[in-house]
Amino acid sequence: MHNNTVHKPVLFGEVIKYLDPQPGENFIDCTFGGGGHSKEILERIREQGKLLGIDANPEVEKIVCQINEQTNNDKRNKESGGELIFVNDNFRNIKKIYEQFFPYPVNGILCDLGLSSFELEKEDRGFSFLRDAPLDMRFDFKANELTAKEILNKFSIDKLISVFRNFGEIPYPLAAKVSERIVQQRKKKQFATTFDLVDVILNGCSIARSKGGRMRRIHPATLFFQALRIEVNRELDALIEFLPDAIEILKPKGRLAIISFHSLEDRIVKHYFREISKGDDATAKLLTKKPIMADVDEVRDNPRARSAKMRVIEKK
């Protein structure tokens, strides 16, 4: 799974600062990925602490095995970290997973949304428009049946337009133009790989995204790929279902940190956090009035961090 790819955890120092793991505490990492954040949490909670790692991607289990092996080696050297329990599932099921596998009070929960560099680079997943691969885009390729290929070959033109508008925030004229081309194209030849889609999109369109008041040019396929990925994995629904359950699971003073990578996710988190932290009956306290973002050094070192925004809340 790794190839030579390295996944650099984003906002690493800020995550550790806000979650502040202490010896004997228990945490849940809902998006385990390469375990970048988790490894540090495990070290800090020491032998008595427990960490529940969750990831929808079944291949993450291999990474967990490597980390566990390392921890066992450390144990022999009497320098053990906390115990790691891994569950391959969608974090939308956090309550069920918690009740079944983690009988401990929870001091902190982390959700680092989106996809890892391993997934982006993986030859057979089709997440990247820069390499030709089957149009799949599922995180959980064992349990989830809907693929990007099926959407492109089967969805009606209206459904395609609404996926691109709702999940890519693509202006109507462009969403409609590309959707029409998709429907024309699939009559001649069904969509099979990412480059089939890139060809259709590239036919003379360009998209700019507003960034701090200035428009930044992005690859035209970026937002179409984002939209398809969100639809395939029902990413926004998962986040909406997850939020109240995560708060419920936390012990008082427990913290929930969420890192998002686009405005659709960030908006959901921002509104929910605002809602539960306002008024006399607030159930939580907002720790980040403004989202935490990567500084220039981190962005230079890890371009993926450019659009990361972290918001943190503490249960009352």
Ligand X SMILES: C[S@@+](CC[C@H](N)C(=O)[O-])C[C@H]1O[C@@H](n2cnc3c(N)ncnc32)[C@H](O)[C@@H]1O
Q: State yes or no: 281 annotated in a binding site.
A: no
Pick the binder of ligand X from 11, 18, 28, 36 (CB under 6 A).
36
91 is in an annotated binding site: yes
Candidates 14, 25, 40, 55: give the one binding ligand X (CB under 6 A): 55
- Judged by beta carbon, residue 117 or residue 185, the one nearer ligand X is 117
Site membership for ligand X, residue 139 (CB under 6 A): yes
DSSP classification of residue 92: G
**Cβ atoms within 10 Å, residue 69:** 10
Q: Tokens for 252?
A: 């008082």
Place of tokens 């560099």: 117
Q: Is 262 in the site for ligand X (CB under 6 A)?
A: no
Is 55 marked within a binding site? yes
Binding mask 273-302 for ligand X (x = CB under 6 A): ------------------------------
Query: How far apart (Å, rounded) are the C-alpha atoms in residues 244 and 275?
Result: 11
Q: Tell whether residue 126 is a contact of ligand X (CB under 6 A).
A: no
Q: Could you write out the DSSP letters of every residue in 109-174?
A: EEEE-S--HHHHH-TTT---TTS--BS---SSTTT----HHHHHHHS-HHHHHHHHHHHH---HHH
112 near ligand X (CB under 6 A): yes
Reading phi first (left if > 0) and then psi (alpha if -120 to 50, else beta), residue 22 is in beta
Q: Tell me whether residue 112 is annotated as binding.
A: yes
Tokens of 285: 């306290």
- The contact pattern for ligand X, residues 183-222, with x = CB under 6 A and - = no contact, is ----------------------------------------
Q: Of 11, 45, 51, 54, which lies in the binding site for ligand X, with binding defined by CB under 6 A?
A: 54
Determine whether the annotation assigns residue 124 to a binding site: no
Q: Does 40 bind ligand X (CB under 6 A)?
A: no
